[in-house]
Chains A and B, each alone.
Chain A
Amino acid sequence: MKALLSFLAVIVLILIATLGVDVANLHFLFGIIIPYLAFVLFVGGFVYRVIKWGRSPVPYRIPTTCGQQKSLPWIKQAKIENPTTVLGVIVRMALEIFFFRSLFRNTKTELRVGEDGPKLVHGSAKWLWFGSLVFHWSFLIIIVRHLRFFLEPVPYFVQLIDSIDGMLQIGLPPIYLTDAFFLCAVIYLFLRRLALPQVRYISLAADYFPLFIIMGIAISGILMRYFFRVDIVAVKELALGLVQLHPAIPEGIGVLFYIHLFLISTLFAYFPTSKLMHMGGIFLSPTRNMMSNNRMVRHINPWNHAVEVHSYAEYEDEFRDKMKKAGIPVEKE
């Protein structure tokens, strides 16, 4: 149901773009205004969200670790899993961001039928890790490749990535490896949500919608490159016009391009309000980005409220006379 709703939402978006461009001729709106708006919303929303997170108190040391803590000199410390230095934290974060290390440790737990009744078994589960890794890396490469539309002259590294990605040289224009990887990974991530009952149970529309919109973007892009070609030169003129702040709509770009662009604009505008903000959030995860020096350093809560205390010495000062009269021993005469 939630999946269906999200799917319909993406279909509606596609229809809006199709009708808007093909029937109503709103090229200016879909080619220029909406992309600019989406960019502003994306950057503004992203910065706003990160600053808002940054302002929330971080009173405790809460790194989650899974290695030997620094201890006596002859006990070997897990320097990355349980870092006590800035370098250790950087390495840990880098492994997390580039290789999803904590997802790598994902496990599954199942009830299996044993000889005497059901048995709880744990096992490693690497498919999610693998699927996400393929998904994210392909996505990154695809975005870098798209820089060829936004930069003139095209820098060497973009050309290099482009040629590596197309190295199989199947067909003309050559098939990009990442296109295939990306599509498979998105479909896997989607099917996983449907197929595993537990995951389906916790999946919300906000989980399906990004998947569908990303799938829509990928499919429209693939159709545009291999099947219903659009005039790439005109597309680049449009893109360059946008980034040079002299936007203009070149003649003769197919509607498929505007669908692609509209879906991307929607994704960008939606990004800061959604779970996709894990892109920024990963850097601000206190369980990952803190050194595990809980017991090596005294951490004082920076927001500690001044507490009024009444020490025994003060108490005695106040009641010394009465205490003496009652025969209670006092420390100071």
Chain B
Amino acid sequence: MYKGGRIIASLIIFVAFLTLPFFFNLGKANAGPDLPTYASSSDSQCVEPAAYMKANHMQLLLKWRDSDVRDGNSVYINSQGKSFDISLETCVQCHTTQATKNTVGVNNPALNTSDQFCVSCHNYASVKPTCWNCHSGPEGATK
């Protein structure tokens, strides 16, 4: 082989690159995001059924924002006819662990701590919503 050494070495690097994910995750558990129990509310259902929420909650939030900010309509009526106050706080009120229940805004479940509802999932999926740059306090958007 002409320049065989270089070709083989390049191929090894190439294959190493391709198999990187195999080695990176070696021996780790495939447990998914570790979602804390959030059944602190009396309701056992989310704003919409859980399967829908799992995949579509960000689009629902977008709809909420448009509805509130553009159409001035601050009540959302879900598919079962139940109404919800349109605000990011609505989510946070249900989705808090007992320990952080009373400190919404200070210990916002959407923010950093890893055992929090939204964040554990978002870290897992590598999404960083910027919403809480502004929506940080219990009183809603502050900027």
Please give the residue numbers on chain A whose beta carbons come within 8 Å of chain B beta carbons, in ascending order.
39, 42-43, 46-47, 50-51, 54-55, 57-58, 147-148, 150-154, 158-159, 162-163, 169, 171-173, 229-234, 236-237, 240-241, 243-246, 248, 252, 254, 280, 283-284, 302
CB contacts (< 8 Å) of A50 on chain B: these are 7, 11
**Cβ distance B137 to chain A, nearest Cβ, rounded Å:** 21
Nearest CB of chain B from residue A72's CB, rounded to whole Å: 31
B contact residues vs A (CB 8 Å cutoff): 1-4, 7-8, 10-11, 14-15, 18-19, 21-22, 24-26, 28, 30, 32-33, 51, 54-56, 58-59, 61-62, 121, 123-128, 130
**A58, B125: Cβ atoms closer than 8 Å:** no
Q: Which of A58, A152, A231 has the most CB of B within 10 A?
A: A152
In the bound complex, CA of A302 to CA of B21 (Å):
41
B126 contacts A158, C-beta separation under 8 Å = yes
Cβ B25 vs Cβ A236 within 8 A: no
Contact A237:B32 (CB < 8 A) given known A55-B1, A151-B24: yes
Considering the complex, give the chain A residue whose CB is closest to the CB of B65. A172
By the criterion CB–CB under 8 Å, are A150 and B21 in contact?
A: yes
Are B55 and A241 interface neighbours, CB within 8 A?
no
- Closest CB of chain B to A136's CB: distance in Å? 17
User: Once bound together, how far apart are the Cα atoms of A163 and B51, in whole Å?
Assistant: 26
Give, as a whole number of angstroms, the nearest-CB distance from A295 to chain B. 21
A244 in contact with B7 (CB, 8 Å): no
Verify B7–A284 contact, CB threshold 8 A: yes
**Cβ-closest chain A residue relative to B53:** A231
In the complex the two chains form, is B7's CB within 8 Å of A229's CB? no
Residues from chain B with a CB closer than 8 A to the CB of A234 are 54
Q: Contact at A237–B30, with CB atoms within 8 Å?
A: yes
Contact residues in A for B19 (Cβ distance below 8 Å): 43
> A52 → chain B, closest Cβ, in Å?
10
User: Roughly how many angstroms separate A173 CA and B127 CA in the complex, as a whole number?
Assistant: 9
In the complex, chain B residues whose CB is within 8 Å of the CB of A230: 55
Which residue in A46, A148, A169, A244 is a CB contact (below 8 Å) of B26?
A: A244
Residue of A nearest to B32 (CB): A237
21 A-B contact pairs sorted by A residue (CB < 8 Å):
A43-B19, A50-B7, A51-B1, A51-B7, A51-B8, A54-B1, A57-B2, A150-B24, A150-B25, A152-B28, A162-B126, A230-B55, A232-B55, A233-B33, A233-B124, A237-B30, A240-B25, A240-B30, A243-B21, A246-B30, A302-B2
Q: Which residues of chain A have C-beta atoms less than 8 A from B30's C-beta?
A: 237, 240-241, 244, 246, 248
Do residues A151 and B25 form an inter-chain contact, with CB atoms below 8 A?
Answer: yes
Contact with A159, one of B25, B61, B128 (Cβ below 8 angstroms): B128
CB-CB < 8 A to A147: which residues of B? 21
Q: Which residues of A contact B21 (CB under 8 A)?
A: 147, 150-151, 243
Q: Which residues of A contact B32 (CB under 8 A)?
A: 233, 236-237
How far is A16 from B8 in the complex, measured between Cα atoms in Å? Answer: 38
Tell which of B25, B61, B130 has the most Cβ of chain A within 10 Å: B25
Q: Which residue of chain A lies nearest to B24 when distances are taken between CB atoms in the complex?
A: A151
Could you tell me if A54 and B2 are in contact, using CB atoms closer than 8 angstroms? yes
Contact B25 A243 (CB under 8 A): yes
**Interchain CA distance A163-B54 in the complex, whole Å:** 21
B124, A152: Cβ atoms under 8 Å? yes
Contact of B7 among A54, A236, A241 (CB under 8 A): A54
Closest to B22 in A: A243
Which residue of the partner chain B has the closest CB to A284?
A: B7
Given A47-B11, A54-B4, A172-B61: A244 and B25 interface contact (C-beta under 8 Å): yes
A153 contact set on B, CB distance < 8 A = 123
For the complex of A and B, 10 pairs with smallest distance between CB atoms: A154-B126, A148-B126, A150-B21, A172-B58, A54-B7, A243-B21, A172-B62, A229-B55, A240-B30, A58-B2
Whether B56 pairs with A169 at a CB distance below 8 angstroms is no
Measured in the bound complex, the distance between the Cα atoms of B18 and A172 in whole Å is 31
Write the nearest CB–CB distance from A230 to chain B, whole angstroms: 6
Given contacts A171-B62, A173-B58, contact A236 B124 (CB under 8 A): yes
Query: Complex formed: what's the CA distance from A237 to B26 in Å?
Result: 14
Bound form: Cα–Cα A202–B128 in Å: 47
> Which residues of the partner chain A approach B54 to less than 8 Å between Cβ atoms?
231, 233-234, 252
Please give the distance in Å from A190's CB to the nearest CB on chain B. 28
A169-B130, A229-B59, A244-B26 known; A283-B10 Cβ under 8 A: yes
